[in-house]
Amino acid sequence: MERRDTRDYAVWSIAIALVLLFALIPVVWLLSISLKPPSEVTDGRFIPASFSLDNYKSLFEGGFSNSPFIKPLINSILIALITTVIAITLASFTAYAIARLEFPGKRLILAGALAIAMFPPISTVGPLFDMWRALGLYDTYPGLIIPYLTFSLPLAIYVLVAFFREIPWDLEEAAQVDGATPFQAFRKVILPLAAPGVFTAAILVFIFAWNDFVFSISLTSSDASRTVPAALAFFTGESSFTEPTGSIAAAAIVVTIPIIVFVLFFQRRIVAGLTAGAVKG
Amino acid sequence: MSEIVLDGVTKVFDDGYEAVKDMNLDIGDGEFMILVGPSGCGKSTALRMIAGLEDISSGELKIDDEVVNDRSPKDRDIAMVFQNYALYPHMTVRENMGFALKLAKVDKEEIDRKVSDAAATLDLTKHLDRRPANLSGGQRQRVAMGRAIVRDPKVFLMDEPLSNLDAKLRVQMRTEVARLQSDLKTTMVYVTHDQTEAMTLGDRVAVMRAGVLQQVGSPGDLYSRPRNLFVAGFIGSPAMNFMIGQIDGGKLKLPIGEVDAAGVAGAEHDGRVIVGIRPQNFEDATIVGEAKEERGIIFEADIDLLESLGSDLYAYFHVETEGIQSDQLADLVASRLEETGAAGLREGQEQVVARLEPTSEVRRGQKAQLWADTAKLHLFDAESGERLGE
């Protein structure tokens, strides 16, 4: 038995190592490029011959007004956060109603949400471009937040419906008998218990908004609202003859950091078994 | 003062299912009222309508002379204990118990005081800062009760609060509930499917079947004068035995012998009747005293099975009788067959249970002389199942 356990352990370790390697090599490569001095970026070495932070410095050079990176970074953070907050607020109300109430058109709403989530974003870009120009939303925060909501809300609703359904209805009735209004019952009993679901949905929405390139490149024209993924495409080299490879790599590393922080921060709250002990069984 | 009046209360669900039909019930101030019946009889729905968790389709519900049909649960001043406790898992015991008071904006010291008092009553003081997940079943149950009593509400509603506990704990908590109610003197409505709980706890018991209230009365009343076959079969453990009898020319003919109809309540008219006799009204004929012997009959029975509980001896035998056709008994019989495992009975036989003195010498598989107290027979109309005579 023990030998088999050891062998299983070894096999699993190798498998996990392979997956990690596969996932991390591009990241490590980016890190490696970003740490090379600009002159060695194209030397083809995986491990840099010498280390330099020049690429990172170049990102922030010129301060707020001249740096090609700072304003997009702020845009990215604000747009992703605002999208997340709005999406989670709306989705939690919607999901709660879908999980708890019987109303006509419930299936239609769920099916519609799913259909929208499956819609290829690129096909909406053209019409949106024209509409936003006409409405004055082109190159503004709402101009990006609205399409992000369109595609992230269905996802958030689906995740939250699944979590809300897990919460025993009795708890809500108990709260009502205890004197809570329906909204109080929702806010003080249901929502805290659905917290893992809320955080899961929040992470998914945030990552979706943070990673988007298609909308950002098409619906913005300046640093007023351009987010980092799109801004990277506008990076220029030292002169018009040098590729900005190093600074793009450095920027890519920098924009990964908020995601990691965000996930680590919320992951601690996704505690399994939070509802254990509510009701018997 | 908190009196509950149900006046023609009816519940029809959206799918057309009528869960509670025209229920009329007066629950007095401070009374301990039990709603009892088999599962699906509408007792929980009735309770939930009183709580306001279920709309009332028609009829009126009054608490303290005020019609509360359209009031939400929070405006009815009721507390409820749920079958599965429904404790808030993200709150400590203290927060669980104080939640209602906090919502009512009672000040903090007052909440602390009330929670501590209730915790002391329920022996929960040590556990106030733990979460429900870390409590045993009995402790969770007590927290659920504590959550109800800290509020000092007009009415307590309990929905099978003990059904999730193991047998020993259930008996213990049963006495606890009885004590609480007599201390608090608050009106209490208690739903259970367990007739033992109903009989031991309630001031009055309301028996329900298929959404219809069958009989309301004190436990003693229900036991000695069940209004119909269903109540007769449901109340009492082991359940009442039934057989077909024929009244003919002043004689009541039973599968176990013939009795003078004059001595049996309700045997005025000739015809077929359903006769009920409780296990307690049998005895081993060799033990029963002469004085008693006179008011009963002695008959011979093949003992199929004996169960000795030490203090009681249950003898199972069968009598030849035509099948009893009554939908009132149908579900009861089915559940009883499950309990006693009376399989193997042929058509035209009914199983009978007799409680005998433990000193009896009857043996399994042998013939025995048994005595039946015919003064304690219950007669029911063979068609309607209604009780005959007083």
Per-residue model confidence as pLDDT tens digits over B302-345: 888 888 888 889 999 888 877 777 777 776 666 655 555 444 45
**Residue B118 placed within a domain:** yes
Asked, for residue B386, whether it belongs to a domain, the answer is: no
Q: In sequence order, which residues have a C-beta less than 8 Å from that of residue B131 and are 6 or more positions away?
A: A277, B89, B90, B91, B92, B93
Strand B296-308 to B282-284 pairing: unpaired
Where does B136-288 have alpha helices with state H?
Answer: 137-149, 167-184, 195-201, 219-224, 229-234
CB pair distance less than 8 Å for A178 and B147: yes
Residues of A in contact with B90 (CB under 8 A): 192-193, 274
Residue contact B78–A177, C-beta within 8 A: yes
Q: A84 vs B263, which has greater pLDDT?
A: A84
Q: For strand B66-67 and strand B349-356, is the pairing parallel, antiparallel, or unpaired?
A: unpaired
Is residue B388 one of the residues assigned to a domain?
no
* CB of A237 closer than 8 Å to CB of A58: no
- Give B71 to chain A, closest Cα distance, Å: 12
3-state DSSP call for residue B283? strand
Residue B63 with chain A: CB contacts under 8 Å: none
pLDDT tens column, A103-118: 888 889 888 888 888 8
Cβ of residue B309 closer than 8 Å to a chain A Cβ: no
How much is the CA Rg of chain A, to the nearest whole Å?
A: 23
End residue of a domain, out of B233, B253, B279:
B233
Q: Do A281 and B72 touch (CB under 8 A)?
A: no
First CA to last CA across chain A, in angstroms? 33
Task: For residues B75 and B173, state if they share a domain.
Answer: yes
Residues of A in contact with B160 (CB under 8 A): none
Cα–Cα distance for residue pair A161/A156, rounded to 1 Å? 8
The last residue of one of the domains, among B233, B258, B278, is B233
C-alpha radius of gyration, chain B, whole number? 24
Do A174 and B86 make contact, defined as CB atoms within 8 angstroms?
yes
What does the pLDDT read at residue A237? 65
B63 to chain A, minimum CA–CA distance in Å?
A: 15
Per-residue model confidence (pLDDT) at position A82: 96
A169 neighbourhood in chain B, CB within 8 Å = none
* pLDDT for the residue B343: 45
Which of these three, B233, B257, B284, is where a domain ends? B233
In a domain, B27, yes or no: yes
B-chain residues near A188 (CB < 8 A)? 99
Would you state the pLDDT for residue B338?
55
Q: How many CB atoms lie within 10 A of CB A131?
A: 15
Chain A, chain B: beta-carbon pairs less than 8 Å apart: 85
- Nearest-Cα residue of chain B relative to residue A185: B103
Section A154-177 average pLDDT = 88
Please give the sequence-ordered ranges of beta strands (E in DSSP) within B227-312, or none if there are none: 241-248, 251-254, 257-260, 271-277, 282-284, 296-308
Residue with tokens 């809320």: A198
Is B201 found in the same domain as B97?
yes
pLDDT of res. A214: 92
CA distance A196 to chain B (A): 12
How confident is the prediction for chain A on average, in pLDDT?
A: 85
Tell me whether residue B389 is in a domain. no
Residue B177, pLDDT score: 87
Nearest-Cα distance to chain A for B87, in Å, is 5
Distance CA B131, CA A192 (A): 15
Q: What is the pLDDT of residues A10-46, one digit of tens each?
A: 999 999 999 999 999 999 998 999 898 877 877 888 8
Beta-carbon separation of A174 and B133 below 8 A:
no
- Chain B 137-156, residues with CB within 8 Å of chain A CB atoms: 137, 140, 147, 151
Q: Are residues B372 and B298 in the same domain?
A: yes
A264 CB-side CA count, 13 A: 6
Q: Which domain holds residue B182?
A: 4-233
B348 DSSP 8-state letter: T
From chain B, pick out residues whose CB is under 8 angstroms from the CB of A173. Answer: 51, 53, 73, 80, 82, 86
Residues B46, B168: one domain? yes
CATH value at residue B200: 3.40.50.300
Q: At what angle do helices A106-118 and A70-100 cross, to 10 degrees?
A: 150
- Pick the residue with more confidence: A86 or A235? A86
Alpha helices in chain B (DSSP H): 43-51, 93-103, 108-122, 137-149, 167-184, 195-201, 219-224, 229-234, 290-293, 327-340
Asked if A175's CB is within 8 angstroms of B99's CB, the reply is yes
Label residue A186 left, alpha or beta by phi (over 0 means left) and psi (-120 to 50 means alpha).
alpha
Looking at the fold, whether B150 and B174 belong to one and the same domain comes out as yes
Q: Do A177 and B51 touch (CB under 8 A)?
A: yes
* Residue B224 near residue B233, CB atoms below 8 Å: no
Which regions in chain B score pLDDT beneath 50?
Answer: 341-344
In a domain, B267, yes or no: yes
- Domain identity same for B53 and B201: yes
Cis previous bond, B238, omega within 30: yes
Report yes or no: B134 at the A interface, CB cutoff 8 Å.
yes
| Residue A58 pLDDT greater than 70, yes or no | yes
B306 close to B315: Cβ distance less than 8 angstroms:
yes
The residues, any chain, with a CB within 8 Å of residue B15's CB and separated by 6 or more, are: none
Residue B50's pLDDT is what?
A: 92
Q: List, in order, residues 6 or more apart from B33 with CB less than 8 Å away.
A: B25, B27, B187, B188, B189, B190, B202, B203, B204, B205, B206
Same domain, B50 and B172: yes
Q: Judge whether residue A275 has pLDDT over 60.
A: no
Residues B265 and B368 in one domain: yes
Distance from CA of A174 to the nearest CA of B (A): 6
- In chain B, the residue whose alpha carbon lies closest to the alpha carbon of A189 is B88
Co-location of B211 and B245 in the same domain: no
Kindly state the percentage of chain A with pLDDT values over 70.
91
B289 in a domain, yes or no?
yes
**pLDDT (0 to 100) of residue A20:** 93
Name the closest residue on chain A to residue B50, using Cα atoms.
A177
Q: Are B278 and B213 in the same domain?
A: no
- B173 near A CB under 8 A: no
Smallest Cβ distance to B89: which of A178, A180, A193?
A: A193
Could you tell me if B199 and B77 lie in one domain? yes
Set of chain B residues whose Cβ sits within 8 Å of the Cβ of A181: 74
Q: Could you tell me the strand order of the sheet in which B187-192 lies?
A: B78-81, B155-159, B187-192, B32-36, B204-209, B212-217
Pick the closest to residue B77 from B52, B107, B105 (CA basis).
B52
Asked if residue B94 is part of any domain, the answer here is yes
Mark which residues 56-115 of B lie under 8 Å from A by CB.
Answer: 72-74, 78-80, 82, 84-90, 99-100, 103-104
The total number of structural domains that make up chain B: 2
Q: What CA–CA distance (Å, rounded) separates B43 from B19?
A: 9
Instruction: Band the pLDDT of A143: cuts 50, 70, 90.
Output: very high
Amino acid B47: pLDDT: 93
Q: How far apart are CA A42 and CA A60, in angstroms?
A: 22
| pLDDT at A232 (0 to 100) | 86
Residues in chain A: 281
Q: How far is residue A237's CA from residue A244's CA, in Å, rounded to a whole number? A: 4
Q: Which residues of B touch A177 (CB under 8 A)?
A: 51-53, 73-74, 78-80
**Looking at residues A212-234, what average pLDDT do you find?**
89
How confident is the model at residue A277, as a pLDDT? Answer: 43
Chain B residue nearest residue A194, CA to CA: B90
- Interface check B164 vs A, CB under 8 A: yes
pLDDT per residue as tens digits for the range B241-272: 888 888 887 888 888 888 887 777 777 778 88
Nearest CA to CA, how far is B85 from chain A (Å)? Answer: 6
Cα A222–chain centre separation? 23
B83 and B166 share a domain?
yes
Does A236 have pLDDT greater than 80?
A: no
Report how far residue A155's alpha carbon sits from residue A82's, in angstroms, rounded to the nearest whole number: 16
